[in-house]
Structure 1
Amino acid sequence: MKTRRILVVVDSSPAAQARVESALNLAGAVAAEVTAILAIHIEVPPVAASVMHGGWYMGDEILSQSREVALRSADLIRETCESVAERLRGELGWLQKEGDAVQVISEEARYHDLLLLGRPGTDDAAAGDFRGNIHSILLEAGVPCLVMPEDRPGMSRSPGRILLAWNGGRECYQAMRGAMPFLRRADEVTVLTLVEHPDEEAMARHRNGRAIDYLRTHEVNAGSLVTSREGLFTGQSLVAKTLELAPDLVVMGAYGHSRFRETILGGATRQILTHAELPVLFAH
């Protein structure tokens, strides 16, 4: 449960610099190495695409020009990220790969202990940005994923106050294990369970107690909080609690229900991804 390799996803957005800064500062706290990865998407204009499929000889030339533009953009992104590392006096590895963003990022993430990426925005999918596919990455990567909001500065240190959203499920356990290096360094850890009915509170306290006992064996002192959802869906109630408690980091399982069910009913994962205004470490 040590974090030795962190992979941070970068792109052309200004928020990528904050992600690199966060990754380097977290790496400094846990003695990890950081690599930035850029998934290169070759944009081919619709007219050019029809020309290529029609077999015209200009297709290869247009594709080559599009690739050249993408590689020039990649060089600028790399320079920007390396300037952040230089300012922080940190070491930053670099990977850039052409292809489908979900496949490129997910495959490389499996050789790292933590994946750091940005929260999806409203126009990311239309722009071909990886953040439009973040739900697929959470499911495919196979490692804990730290999702950063786009409008916050980079994390300056390991989080001091951590909220662990708990229901005793497998995904929660994986998230807790993935966050252990940061839980050990936190000043305050709260294990939170949300209940729908008062008669669920005793079992919730029991589950929280078991999680706290486990954390104690890993030198983490944690407190318990069992509270009502107050008629809200779990995701809505969890968003409200993050606003009330204002932790530096939320740790939670991702897609405890099937992704289809969460898409149709609006599960906790989607609610947090859409509305949380602070870093969230997910594990599936």
Structure 2
Amino acid sequence: MDIDPATHPTWHSAQVLRVREGRLMPAPQADQLAEETPIALEFNGISHATMLATPADLEDFALGFSLTEGIVASAHDIRGIELREECDGVVVEVEISSACAARLKERRRAMSGRTGCGLCGVETLPEVVRDVAPVAGAPALPLATVLAAMQALRERQPLHAATGATHAAAWADADGQLRYVREDVGRHNALDKLVGALARADIDAAQRAGSLIVVSSRASFEMVQKTAAAGVGMLAAVSAPTALAQRLSQRLGVGLMGFMRGNDATLYACPERISG
């Protein structure tokens, strides 16, 4: 089921006044603004989280979020995903297996009454950096492949080209070809959408380990965590990583590259993931 773009568009046209060389231009001009829409996730009828996101690829988003947040172990634990449009947003109804639902209920019960740490609705610090299996070894990726994948990403962001306000996450195979690209106003959302697309494509573990994800943002620890949860061996980012992201990359066996500008970049973790 797709969202009706008439009721929940991904961008909105507005009249703006531009400033050029320190002077306010007298005539308004048309500009495009990326939409932020409340997206509520429900699991087996129970509300779990509400995020502001771009209202596109929401089934991928729900599946990717479920996987990267540890709500389900695999795509097979998802029994169905339904989208319910409302005037002020979209409700994504996710039906998960009874075993996963029981674990989620227990997790919520364990958090009940505790003091929150204020991180994206997570209520305890152990919930922030979750246990994620390290990515198994794979042949190193040629440096030229990683650089080419990042450069190709710039041409595959139509919503960003229209609005200048969205992030993108893309999966490139071992040859550096971008196979899936997802955009969103939130960098985490874009990556969750991409992880969902990979899960639906049913790409095997060996292919994932020897591939890479490129993102148009900085590389915080959550981006590393989500990359490892997807079983992908390399994360390349336009901007810098954080120190926690670097340490987590080393522990999880995820190559981490940042500050990618043309043919320049910095490799922060797992140099064995890169050749050349």
Quickly name the TM-score band, shorter chain normalised: under 0.3
Q: Which has the larger radius of gyration?
A: 1
Q: Give the TM-score normalised by structure 2.
A: 0.27
Q: Which has the higher contact order (CA 8 A, sep 6+)?
A: 1
